[in-house]
């Protein structure tokens, strides 16, 4: 894609895209948790990805046409892998959320940006400054404080969530690597469309298709599929055009704080004191990291200051 190669990188725009994606993605925990009160995880995952496939294709038609669906021959295997991993990750994610409350799961997912950072440095050879070690450590400590009283949660939900975190991290890595070859909207479409096929096959084999639920579960699920797997990932993938992989990922660390008001307003849930303290610490670490990025991004790198 020539337009992708000639794109001028704008870090501030990358930040805005990443923040918009994070805000939209934070609704996942609420809309999906509500939908899972009616659907089983397999059927929910199928409807979620099917709706997102339709939404993303319609957005492509309205914003530039099918040229955004072009995939170079050398990227086909990676895109298929992206979709397959997404399908497995969706099943793990919603199976975990069905067993956990949304606030706890949002805090568990703070391992996701940290894993993204490690993958960005090890696989994409992105620069990691030593100054960023402390704020990342603060993020991890905040996450631990937030969940310290929640280890009595069903262990199976935690295992599903950890598997989902690994899946999402590899999805984002593939997307970042292919972002100069495939249009962001095309990536979103192929991600959910191939995932839908994987989930459909799994759901049929396991015999767990059940569409007989109340209309409200359908409506919330379809709305959530627009905000979460469609619009949020369009913004995230656009952010990768302008910002380093791990810096875009670190913006997601503020997500639990965004989830809290949604959980209170729509599910009647409010965090305990330790969750609030931990969430505040996560915010501190995340914004400190972004400050370091903007403070030093225009300075020449010193070999003594980065890895």
User: Residue 5: its pLDDT value, please?
Assistant: 44
pLDDT (tens digit per residue) in 107-127 = 778 777 667 667 667 776 767
Q: Which segment of 21-30, 41-50, 135-144, 279-288 scores lowest on mean pLDDT?
A: 279-288
Mean pLDDT value across the chain: 83
Q: Reply yes or no on whether the pLDDT at 294 is more than 80.
A: no
Q: Which of 305, 91, 59, 293 is nearest to 184 (CA)?
A: 59
Grouping H, G, I as helix, E, B as strand and the rest as coil, residue 39 is: coil
pLDDT, average across residues 9-29: 86
Between 297 and 30, the more confident residue is: 30
pLDDT (tens digit per residue) in 209-266 = 999 999 999 999 999 999 999 999 999 888 877 777 666 766 777 787 788 788 888 8
Q: In 27-154, where does DSSP find H-type helix?
A: 28-35, 41-62, 76-99, 102-108, 111-122, 133-147
User: Residue 295: its pLDDT value, please?
Assistant: 66
User: Residue 218: its pLDDT value, please?
Assistant: 98
Q: Reply yes or no on whether the pLDDT at 10 is more than 80.
A: no
Q: Which residues of 64-75 are buried (b: 16+ CB within 10 A; e: fewer)?
A: eeeebeebeeeb
Grouping H, G, I as helix, E, B as strand and the rest as coil, residue 75 is: helix
pLDDT, average across residues 271-299: 70
The helices-and-strands tally (H runs, E runs) of the chain is 15, 0
For residue 306, the cross-strand partners are 129
CA separation for the pair 174, 51 (Å, rounded) = 23
CB atoms within 10 A of CB 6: 7
Q: Reply yes or no on whether the pLDDT at 301 is more than 70.
A: no
pTM: 0.81
Residue pair 224/93 in contact by the 8 Å Cβ criterion: no
User: Residue 124: its pLDDT value, please?
Assistant: 64
Residue pair 82/229 in contact by the 8 Å Cβ criterion: no
pLDDT (tens digit per residue) in 123-170 = 767 677 777 788 888 878 887 787 677 666 557 888 898 899 889 888
Grouping H, G, I as helix, E, B as strand and the rest as coil, residue 135 is: helix
Task: Please report how many Cα atoms fall inside a 13 Å half-sphere around the Cα of residue 35, on the Cβ side.
Answer: 27
Between 239 and 294, the more confident residue is: 239
pLDDT (tens digit per residue) in 39-66 = 999 999 999 999 999 999 999 999 988 8
Please identify which residue in the block is written with the tokens 């469609």: 230
User: Residue 64: its pLDDT value, please?
Assistant: 84
pLDDT (tens digit per residue) in 157-208 = 888 988 998 898 888 788 878 878 999 899 999 999 999 999 999 999 999 9
């Amino acid at each position: 894609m020539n337009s992708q190669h000639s794109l001028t990188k704008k870090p501030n725009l990358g930040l805005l895209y990443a923040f918009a994606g994070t805000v939209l993605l934070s609704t996942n925990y609420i809309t999906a948790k509500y939908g899972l009160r009616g659907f089983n995880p397999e059927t929910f995952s199928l409807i979620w990805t099917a709706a997102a496939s339709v939404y993303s294709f319609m957005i492509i038609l309205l914003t530039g046409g099918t040229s955004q669906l072009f995939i170079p021959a050398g990227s086909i295997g990676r895109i298929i892998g992206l979709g397959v991993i997404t399908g497995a990750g969706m099943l793990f994610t919603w199976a975990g959320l069905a067993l956990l409350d949304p606030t706890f799961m949002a805090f568990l997912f703070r391992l996701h940006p940290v894993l993204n950072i490690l993958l960005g440095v090890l696989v994409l050879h992105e620069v990691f400054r030593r100054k960023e070690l402390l704020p990342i450590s603060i993020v991890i400590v905040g996450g631990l404080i937030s969940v310290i009283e929640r280890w009595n949660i069903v262990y199976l939900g935690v295992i599903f969530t950890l598997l989902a975190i690994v899946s999402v991290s590899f999805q984002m890595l593939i997307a970042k690597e292919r972002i100069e070859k495939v249009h962001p909207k095309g990536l979103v479409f192929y991600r959910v469309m191939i995932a839908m096929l994987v989930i459909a096959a799994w759901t049929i084999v396991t015999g767990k298709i059940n569409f007989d639920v109340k209309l409200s579960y359908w409506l919330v699920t379809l709305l959530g599929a627009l905000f979460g797997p469609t619009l949020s990932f369009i913004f995230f993938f656009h952010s990768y055009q302008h910002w380093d992989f791990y810096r875009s990922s670190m913006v997601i660390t503020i997500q639990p704080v965004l989830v809290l008001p949604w959980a209170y307003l729509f599910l009647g849930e409010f965090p305990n004191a330790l969750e609030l303290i931990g969430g505040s610490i996560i915010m501190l670490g995340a914004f400190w990291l972004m400050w370091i990025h903007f403070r030093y991004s225009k300075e020449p790198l010193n070999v003594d200051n980065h890895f």
